[in-house]
Chain A
Amino acid sequence: MSSDRIIQIERDILGKNDRLAADNRARFRADGVLAFNLVSSPGAGKTSLLVRTVSELKDSFPIGVIEGDQQTSNDAERIRATGVPAIQVNTGKGCHLDAAMVGEAYDRLPWLNGGVVFIENVGNLVCPAAFDLGEACKIVVFSTTEGEDKPLKYPDMFAASALMLINKIDLAPVLDFDLARTIEYARRVNPRIEVLTVSARTGEGFLAFYAWLRKRASKAKPAEMTAAE
């Protein structure tokens, strides 16, 4: 076998991650768990948004949180202070969570029978778009302190997300934030993306967000989470 030869392989570069994501998805389904992958740039307010969400929903159904950051366990500690279990994953030099990390973190959470797992990805609008974690969908958190054209600058992430949560809406008047333009840009990239405005600081808009979560849950599994209302 010394002569050169060409071999056709036709394999997806992310094939291994996609297989592990499919395993995660099967486990979530078996446990009746709905998984959401929260993505944003650093500082958009993912953790504050989650702290409010899990505090207000933890009595309705079981919740677990997987926190991804390059370093520190600060975010997991903020979640645990609400009484909700959280596992911190430190990616070190890595710029995104992958399906293997999420599978291992899910092993360490208590059984969330019929509940929800929120995965807070590393703050980064680029890399996490490529890595399926086994989630039901991605939720992109965008804040009014960012430029309205961010969906155009980072189209992959907005294309990959089912919902855009526009956070810090209480600051919109001070910032001359143009909501209509932001939504128009997001829909250029992803005509089907849903949009809600919230403020993690004041709580504005969260009832609509919870209604959205319940609607997703009732689509995924008609009985459990909606009945736990």
Chain B
Amino acid sequence: MHEMALCEGIIGIVEEEARKRSFLRVKAVCLEIGALSHVAPDAMQFCFEAVAARTIAQGARLEIIATPGTAWCMACSQNVEIKQRYEPCPSCGSYQLQVTGGEEMRVKELEVD
């Protein structure tokens, strides 16, 4: 359940930004989560509510933008989209794939007042 630790990281970032930019309340937190990252979005929603309680982000909406997994296929020399790490290249069937995107776990923006 590392989603708990990740949510603590999110709240840490939100509180730091609140001090820097002096806002008092967070209404929404928008995340960018890659398909190949270490996050289950449902677990994230569940943990976020618990971790945000009694912080500046209490009751805030968590929005998750899912970004696709992409890889460079060494066999057919092109960028392809994959949903899981163990998938073959959708174009030629090779497993010689180098992941190029979709690993991000980022706080993208905040809606504050």
Please choose the segment from A12-20, A112-120, A170-178 that sits at the chain B interface, where 4 or more of its residues have CB less than 8 A away: A12-20
In Å, the complex CA distance between A151 and B113 comes to 46
Q: Check A8/B109 contact, CB under 8 A, given A14-B9, A155-B86, A189-B86.
A: yes
Main secondary structure of the interface of B (DSSP, over half): mixed
How many interface contacts (CB-CB < 8 Å) are there between A and B? 99
Q: Decide yes or no whether B105 CB sits under 8 A from chain A.
A: yes
Answer whether residue A206 sits at the interface, using C-beta atoms and an 8 A cutoff: no
- Whether a CB of chain A sits under 8 angstroms from the CB of B78 is no
Contact with A along B55-87 (1 / 0, CB 8 A): 000000000000000000010000000001110
Mark the stretch among A91-99, A139-147, A207-215 that contacts chain B: A91-99
B-chain residues with CB within 8 Å of residue A159 when the two chains form the complex = 85, 99
Q: Are B38 and A187 in contact (CB under 8 A)?
A: no
Q: How large is the interface on B (under 10, 10 to 19, 20 to 34, 35 or more residues)?
A: 35 or more
Minimum CB–CB distance from A155 to chain B (whole Å) comes to 4
With known contacts A191-B95, A191-B96, A3–B9 Cβ distance under 8 A:
no
Which of A32-40, A78-86, A123-131 binds B?
A123-131
Contact A13/B108 with A1-B23, A187-B95, A191-B96 known, Cβ cut-off 8 Å: no
> Using Cβ atoms and an 8 Å threshold, which residues of chain B touch A12?
104-107
Q: Which range holds the interface residue count of chain A?
A: 35 or more
Docked CA distance A24–B99 (Å): 26
26 A-B pairs, CB-CB below 8 angstroms? A1-B22, A1-B24, A4-B112, A5-B23, A6-B110, A6-B112, A7-B23, A7-B112, A9-B13, A10-B107, A10-B108, A11-B13, A12-B107, A13-B9, A13-B13, A13-B107, A14-B105, A94-B5, A98-B5, A130-B105, A131-B2, A155-B85, A155-B86, A185-B86, A189-B86, A190-B85
Q: Which residues of B contact A (CB under 8 A)?
A: 1-2, 5-6, 9-10, 12-13, 17, 21-24, 27, 31, 38, 74, 84-86, 88, 95-99, 104-113
